[in-house]
Amino acid sequence: MSGTTADAGSGYSLRGRQGHVIEALGRAIVGGTYRPGDLLPREAELTEEYGVSRTSVREAMKVLAAKGLVDIRPKVGTRVRARELWSSFDSDLLTWTYVEGMATELMRDLVELRQIVEPSAARLAAGRATMHDLGRIEQAALDLAGAAHDHTAYAEHDVEFHLAVYAASHNTFLSRFGTLVADFMKLSFDLQQEATTLSLEEDAARHVAVLEAITRGDTEAAGERMLQVVLDGKVALVAALRDQES
């Protein structure tokens, strides 16, 4: 997860000097250097600190405002907004949260949310998947099985499998959710693999069971199999996070 990639939340690429300002201030806000309610340094101070133009500072503030981090008020200044108003699924916010060492609670929240929505996505996929959808899910399952010896590749194919199921639900919001949290899912999958009691071959077989249920059009089985996959991952993630904290 890198803060130099294109930002899904604002459509802005965090490259160059202006991108450096965005990332530095974003991390400072997420990390607690600037807390909700605090005023950020004035434009002239930021211009001097980061060696950029006033235009770059203003544009950076617009990007941070688009992410919900700050509120820009003429003649008052730029103030950090309450955390609950931040764009929680913004890919850069997720990255900054992880880099600042504050991702534990967020990852637990994400896996709990997946526990709620992914079985439903699988049920919808079982009733709505097209041949193209089934082919995409099947390919992801095959790739998982083939990558059981490579943890990095396995995590990438794992994300693709879940994105394929979200897409097969043919629900706009579920598909969008999967895209928004894809990077964070990969991070959580990487951690899960460090603590799972299942072999990757066994985990791949669990995913194949989801595919088979969706292919049969068995909505209840699809939901149950997907729930098992998510719960297996949740147990491993909690164990991995506990090891990190100890």
Q: What CATH number has the domain bearing residue 237? A: 1.20.120.530
Domain endpoint, select from 102, 131, 166: 102
The angle subtended at Cα 192 by Cα 129 and Cα 144, nearest 5°, is 45
- Give mean pLDDT, residues 142-149: 93
Check residue 28 and give its pLDDT: 96
pLDDT at 246: 64
**Cα 231 to Cα 49: distance, rounded to the nearest angstrom:** 47
d(CA 157, CA 163): 10
Domain end position, chosen among 102, 133, 164: 102
Regarding whether 124 and 2 lie in a shared domain, the answer is: no
- Asked if 244 and 104 touch (Cβ cutoff 8 Å), the reply is yes
> Does residue 1 surpass a pLDDT of 60?
no
**% of the chain residues with pLDDT over 70:** 92
Q: Where are the alpha helices (DSSP H) in the chain?
A: 16-30, 43-50, 54-66, 91-99, 104-128, 131-146, 151-168, 172-180, 182-195, 200-216, 219-245
Judged against a pLDDT cut of 60, whether residue 13 lies above it is answered with no
Same domain, 16 and 111: no
Same domain assignment for residues 11 and 133: no
Question: Could you tell me the residue range of the domain that residue 153 belongs to?
Answer: 103-245
Kindly tell me if the per-residue pLDDT of 43 is higher than 90: yes
* Residue 2 banded pLDDT, cuts 50, 70, 90: very low
> 43-50 and 16-30 helices cross at what angle (nearest 10)?
120
Domain count, the chain: 2
For residue 29, what is the domain's CATH number? 1.10.10.10
Angle ∠(178,117,7) on CA atoms, nearest 5: 25
Q: What is the pLDDT of residue 190?
A: 81
Tell whether the model's pLDDT for residue 183 goes beyond 90: no
Please report the pLDDT score of residue 10 as a whole number.
Answer: 44
Supply the mean pLDDT for the chain: 89
Work out the pLDDT band at 133, boundaries 50, 70, 90: very high
